[in-house]
Amino acid sequence: MGQTLTEKILDDHLVEGELEPGEEIGIEIDQVLTQDTTGTMVWLQFEALDLDEVQTELAAQYCDHQTYQFDFKNTDDHRFLRSAAGTFGAHFSRPGNGICHQVHKEHFAAPGKTLLGSDSHTPTPGGMGELAIGAGGLDIAVAMGGGPYYVEMPEVTNVRLEGELPEWATAKDVILELLRRLSVKGGVGKVFEYTGPGVENLTVPERTTITNMGTELGATSSIFPTDEQTKDFLKRVGREDEYVELQPDDDAEYAEEITVDLSDLEPLIAKPSMPDNVVPVREVAGESVEQVIVGSCTNGAYEDILPVAKMLEGRETAKHTETIIAPGSKQASEILARQGWTAELMAAGVNFSEATCGACIGIGHVPASDSVSLRTFNRNFEGRSGIEDDSVYLCSPEVAAAAAIKGEIVDPRDLADELGDMDAPGLEMPDEYNGSKADLIAPDEAIDDELIKGPNIGDVPLKDPLDPHLEGGVLLKMTDNITTDHIIPATSDILKYRSNVPKLSEFTLSRVDESFAQRALDADGGFLVAGENYGQGSSREHAALCPMYLGIEGVLAQSFARIHKANLFNFGLVPLTIDEETYEKIEQGDDVEIVDDVGEGVRDGKEEFTVRVNDDWEATARLDASERERKILAAGGKLSYTRQQYDEKSGSGASPADD
Ligand code: MIC
Ligand code: SF4
């Protein structure tokens, strides 16, 4: 039987396990990336593991999320990250140089390689045939130390593309269409592999928009085969020699197949406040828009900004609509500026931000109250823009530009008819991505050789080994689809404490219940209860680390998002799955006791535990965990577990990360 492309790359990197869907596999990682808000923990953990040099082919540290440095704490973080990259041997991308996924795509992403990143949108270079996976910071630290990365072997879904995108429909509409059909949980445990005759009609920047936002489906990764388009892109970024031809076998077997006829697509939009709340733009046309932002790791590339510039050339934005371009990379800004497009955009009434995530997580450009903001981003979770009850829509750059001109949501096809002289801009790449590399510091150019820690940079808290008897109150009962933005928001007032867990913990779940952190501390232990897809969204391990710090013992949920579940194991919190009936019956304030000896059960592979509630009724909760995850839980988390491994192996010269 032939192999899918995903299986081929995994096979090439397999160090443990078998490629059977649902089985845990260990793979070798070639490249890692980390960014400023998850990176400080990564390097503190790298240090705590006594590792002294990056072992992967390449590691890159980006500073992209909070580049405005509103507080010295952020600037201290950036300086610490520069010193860590220098000390341990990673590339360093200075604040303002661009968003990790865009800069990585331009400078380092390579077909056939594996990439692990401490950011959920790491799968972006899947559009170039790289198998890229997002993970929690501790997994990145261990992989950087040369240890394998363990993940459940995903099912591979074949997304068969046919036809060609019509005018005004874009790559964003491809992924919005998949979200419309499959929902934000539709990709859990899956890799989406794109095949079919439509593939060759999509350029690499279009493919990476699709693979980037595959994360919103909950997918482990998304990948395209490589072809002339890949070769062409690599040539333009000056790395043609990195081209490798990669295709699935003709007789590859997929777990499922979805067909998308590109020719049938039209401009789509995700309504507030979930990326899968997708409708045709025409359905919401006429809604007044106060803010338009073009940018982010999904649609902030040169190829995303250029269509906006072409549509706005010689025109002005509506007077009540503030329009901002937040480029994905400084290189994109530089090329646009050299070509004169920046001036055109400015003349049209557009403001330029530095290349940063910024507004995507509520840092700058927070929408006005009761207003509509249209963004080319990938997430519109409630409150993420920096104001509760926000009204954020997600769309393509073309739809965003049309709204900027008209001041209301409008299908660009209708606007083009109305204006009579606005052509569909299409997609155009620069002949050469020839921006300056001044903001990239290679390991051999490093300026630091020891860590520089400011006063806000704390230690990584450790947990005691698993308590055999788990008991406590239900401190919070939550609904379905709780995001990591609910658990630990990323807005600027809170983000500055990412390197200071005791302080950051004060904000845990504050978006759901402001009194939670204090109640958890007072209760000295307890449980969280949630519906489906608990912990979707970001890879931030702080969403597990902070509850752990507050004494939470475990989470009872109907289902978990992949990265968050791994983070719960990594920090020693027990993720238990409950059925709908139990979820409905259990209430906040109930007393919960796990009747079985948890320590023994976890070690012995027990899958079902009896939960006694209020000494009154009982239910069954499942622990779906690999042997390795059980050992991690028993040790009180991955840091303690990895150190234990090290102690056992010391003397044998083994790396602490050799699992
Ligand atoms: C996000 O888009 O939510 C983030 C901010 O990029 C996160 C990373 C973080 O929380 O630092 C992600 O996607 O993993
Ligand atoms: Fe940055 Fe937003 Fe992309 Fe996350 S989703 S990496 S915050 S641009």
Domains delineated in the chain: 5-264 (3.30.499.10), 274-413 (3.30.499.10), 470-649 (3.20.19.10)
Q: pLDDT band at residue 658, thresholds of 50, 70 and 90?
A: very low
Ligand 2 centroid from CA 511, angstroms: 20
pLDDT at 652 over 70: no
In the three-class reduction of DSSP (H, G, I as helix; E, B as strand; rest coil), residue 492 is classed as: helix
Average pLDDT, the chain: 96
Ligand 1 centre and the CA of 377: distance in Å?
12
pLDDT over 50 at 525, yes or no: yes
Whether residue 471 is predicted with pLDDT greater than 60 in this model: the reply is: yes
* Mean pLDDT computed over 239-262: 98
CA 72, 436, 363, 121: dihedral to nearest 10 degrees?
A: -120
Question: Is the CB of 121 within 6 Å of ligand 2?
Answer: yes
Relative to the alpha carbon of 329, which ligand is closest? 2
What three-state secondary structure class fits 529?
strand
C-alpha to C-alpha distances, 474 to 170, 509, 557, 611, nearest whole angstrom: 46, 14, 12, 12
Q: Is residue 653 scored above 50 in pLDDT?
A: no
Dihedral, CA of residue 108, residue 175, residue 97 and residue 56, to nearest 10? -30
Distances (CA, A) of 54 to 122, 162, 185, 345: 19, 42, 34, 42
Q: Residue 498's closest CA among 68, 32, 42, 54?
A: 42
Q: What angle do CA 270, 543, 374 make, to 5 degrees?
A: 20
Q: Identify the CA nearest to 223 among candidates 190, 265, 176, 269.
A: 190
How confident is the model at residue 649, as a pLDDT? Answer: 78
Closest CA to 638 of 147, 197, 301, 200: 147
DSSP for residue 596: S
- What tens digit of pLDDT does each residue of 209-224 get? 999 999 999 999 999 9
> pLDDT at residue 400 above 70?
yes
Distance, in Å, from the CA atom of 301 to the CA atom of 397, rounded to the nearest integer, reads 10
Coil vs helix vs strand at 41: helix
CA of 218 to the centre of ligand 1 (A): 14
- State mean pLDDT over 573-581: 98
Residue 394 has pLDDT above 70, yes or no: yes
Tell me what pLDDT residue 659 has: 45
Quick one: average pLDDT of 275-297? Answer: 98
* Burial zone of 279 (CB within 10 Å; 0-12 exposed, 13-18 middle, 19+ buried): middle
Cα(584) to ligand 1 centroid in Å equals 31
Q: Which residues contact 228 (CB under 8 A, 6 or more apart)?
A: 200
pLDDT at residue 648 greater than cutoff 90: no
The answer on pLDDT for 358 being more than 70 is yes
Average pLDDT for 423-442: 98
Is it the case that residue 651 has pLDDT exceeding 80?
no
Q: Which residues line ligand 1 (CB under 6 A)?
A: 37-38, 65, 119-121, 361, 490, 537-540
Q: What is the mean pLDDT of residues 122-130?
A: 99
Ligand 2 pocket mutation, candidates 175, 360, 375, 494, criterion most atoms within 8 A of CB: 360
Residue 657 pLDDT level (bands cut at 50, 70, 90):
very low
Q: Does the pLDDT value for residue 206 go beyond 90?
A: yes
Give the DSSP H or E segment for 520. helix 516-523
Give the distance from CA 4 to its chain's centroid: 24
Average pLDDT in the 589-599 region?
97
Measured torsion, CA atoms of residues 156, 159, 160, 163, in degrees rounded to the nearest 10: -160
Task: Please tell me the predicted confidence (pLDDT) of residue 262.
Answer: 98
Q: Is 483 a pocket residue for ligand 2 (Cβ < 6 Å)?
A: no
Looking at residues 508-526, what average pLDDT do you find?
96
CA angle 293, 297, 299 (to 5 degrees): 55
Nearest-atom index, ligand 2, CA of 298: 3
The ligand that comes nearest to the alpha carbon of residue 35 is 1
- Residues 528-535 have a mean pLDDT of 98
Tell me the β-bridge partners of 593.
471, 612
pLDDT, tens digit, 9 for 90 and up, residues 309-346: 999 999 999 999 999 999 999 999 999 999 999 999 99
Q: How confident is the model at residue 587 (pLDDT cuts 50, 70, 90)?
A: very high
Query: Which band of pLDDT confidence, cut at 50, 70 and 90, is reported for residue 465?
Result: very high
Backbone phi, psi, residue 326, to 5°: -120, 90
pLDDT-derived band at 157, boundaries 50, 70, 90: very high
Cβ atoms 615, 591 nearer than 8 A: yes
Return phi, psi of residue 452, to 5°: -115, 110
Q: Does residue 268 carry a pLDDT above 50?
A: yes
Residue whose CB lies within 8 A of the most ligand 2 atoms, among 102, 104, 119, 216, for a mutation test = 119
Strand order in the sheet with 91-93: 131-134, 114-117, 31-34, 58-62, 91-93, 440-441
Categorize the per-residue pLDDT at 114 as very low, low, confident or very high, splitting at 50, 70 and 90.
very high
- Tell me if 296 CB under 6 Å of ligand 2: yes
Q: Quick one: pLDDT at residue 73?
A: 95
